[in-house]
Amino acid sequence: QVIAYSRRRYRILGETLDVAVGNCIDRLARLLQIPNSPSPGYNVEQLAKRGTQNNLGETLKPLFCTPQAVTPKLLESGEATPEDLCFSLQ
């Protein structure tokens, strides 16, 4: 679950039945060979900042919604960059 705490209440923002959010981030980091230091999630976030948004927060390219098994093919074909995939995951 992705949970937020606001006004002394917890709110569920999203759920998944298959892969936990943290595990998904860790898997993508391993696929993209992103270092673990200081943490995979932080490093994915830093790459995502250079992804498919401009300084105004406008999306410049379509987001990728693909299984992680497709990630190597997207990278090899040049259809996506590691930054774009990190942005799409977020």
The per-residue pLDDT for range 19-56, each reduced to its tens digit, is 777 888 898 999 999 998 999 999 999 998 888 765 56
Q: Give the C-alpha separation, 36 to 5, whole Å.
A: 27
pTM, whole model, 2 decimals? 0.67
**H or E element, residue 56:** none
pLDDT value, residue 59: 67
Residue 2 has pLDDT above 60, yes or no: yes
Q: Give the C-alpha separation, 28 to 24, whole Å.
A: 6
Residue 12 has pLDDT above 70, yes or no: yes
Give the rounded distance of the alpha carbon of 3 from its chain centre: 17
Q: Give the C-alpha separation, 66 to 71, whole Å.
A: 7
The per-residue pLDDT for range 48-81, each reduced to its tens digit, is 888 876 556 666 666 776 667 788 888 899 888 8
Residue 17 has pLDDT above 80, yes or no: no
For residue 27, the number of C-alpha atoms closer than 13 Å in the C-beta half-sphere is 13
**CB under 8 Å to 53, separation ≥6 — which residues?**
59, 60, 87
